Structure 1
Amino acid sequence: METPANDPTPTPAQRALDALVVNTEDESALDTLASSEVLVPVPDDAMDEEAADPTAVALPVLEEPDGRPVVPVFTSELEMAELLPFVSRYRLVPLGALASQWPSDDLSLTIDGSSSHGLTLTSDGVRTLLARPHG
C-alpha cells in the first residue's frame, strides 16, 4: 500500500520513465528524460577535488548479479536512498550530457533501478536514445 508521505509527486523524469515502461519508443518521454537532471552518486573513494570538478564526473560502477557493470543514477533522493542508503554525496548531472560522454565499452546505465519504472540501457542505448541534440 502506498502512502502519500512516501510517494511524492513524480518528477518529469519519473513520468517519462513511466511512459517508457508502456512505450519504449516514446520520443517525447525520451526527450524529457534526456533533458532531465539525474543524481549521480559520488563514490566514497572519490577525492574531494574530483567530486567538486564540474567538468568531470566519477561514475559509480556496480556489478549486476550476472557480472555486467552498471552505473546507477536516480531521479530523486528518495529513489537513491531506496537502492543505495549508504550514499552521502551525489552530483546533479543533465542526463543528455552524461550520455553524450558515455564510454563505448559494455557499461550499462540504470535509472531508478529499484523502482517499478526503472530503466536499464546498454552503452549503445545510452548514446543513441539519450544523447540528443539540445535546443
Structure 2
Amino acid sequence: MDTPAHDHHPPTPAQRALDALAVNTEDQAALDTLAHSDVLVPVPDDEVDGEGADTSMLALPVLEQADGDPVVPVFTSEGTMAEQLPFVSRYRLVPLGALAAQWPDEDLSLAIDGSSQHGLTLTSQGVRTLLAR
C-alpha cells in the first residue's frame, strides 16, 4: 500500500484555535488556548550552539513580507514548518504566551503558521495585547 505524500495528522489544539479565530477574532477561549500553546520557532542552520551561548536568549527569525514589513514566523507543528520553510531543520519549542510577553517594541508582526490554511498574522500590538497572558 502506498503512503500518501503528506501525512495528515489531526489538527493540534493551537491549529483548532487558529481556525476558531479565523471565524471569530474575539474568541477568548481560542486566544487562551493559543497563548498557552507551544510553538516552533525556526533556528537558522548557521546559528551555532557553541560553549558560552546563552540558551535563555532566543534569536527571533525575521523574514520580510511581500510589502516589506518584517515578520517573525512560528509554527504549530513540524509538518507545517517543513512545508513552509523546507530549508530550516532546527527549531526551539517556546510557549507562545512567554514569547508574546517579551515581544520587542518595534513594529514586528508575528505569523503563526504563515500561509497555511490555519495561518494568522498579528501586529506587534496584537501580539502583546492578545497573547501576553
- 2 CA distance for matches of 1:34 and 1:98? 9
5 Å-filtered alignment, 1:27-106, equals 27-49=28-50, 53-106=54-107
Q: Which amino acid aligns with 1:78?
A: G
**Displacement after TM superposition at 1:45 (Å):** 3.2
Instruction: Measure how far apart 1:116 and its partner are.
Output: 1.3
Supply the distance in 2 between the matched residues of 1:70 and 1:49 (Cα, whole angstroms). 27
Tell me which amino acid in the other structure corresponds to 2:44.
P
Q: Which residue of 2 aligns with 1:117?
A: 118
* Unmatched 5+ stretches in structure 2: none
Under a length normalisation based on structure 2, what TM-score does the superposition of the two structures give? 0.91
Say yes or no: does 1:128 pair with 2:129. yes
Tell me how far 1:44 sits from its aligned partner. 2.6
Q: 1:100·1:131 contact (CA, 8 Å) conserved in 2? A: yes
Give 5+ residue unaligned stretches, structure 1.
none
Give 1:88 deviation, angstroms. Answer: 1.0
Output the amino acid matched with 2:65.
Answer: E
CA contact (8 A) 1:46 1:58 kept: no
* Higher Cα Rg, which structure: 2
Map Cα deviations across residues 37-56 of structure 1 (whole Å, 9 max, x no partner). 00000023323149x74411
Residues in 1 aligned to 2:45 and 2:71: alpha-carbon distance in whole angstroms? 17
Distance in 2 of aligned mates of 1:121 and 1:97: 16
1:114 partner SS: coil
Deviation at 1:117, TM superposition (A): 1.6
- Contact kept, 8 Å, 1:79 with 1:114, in 2: the verdict is no
> Are 1:22 and 2:23 matched, yes or no?
yes
Whole-angstrom CA distance in 2 between matches of 1:82 and 1:73: 13
For this pair of structures, how many residues does the alignment match? 129
CA RMSD of aligned residues (A): 1.8
CA distance in 2, matches of 1:98, 1:104: 13
TM-score scaled to structure 1, two decimals?
Answer: 0.89
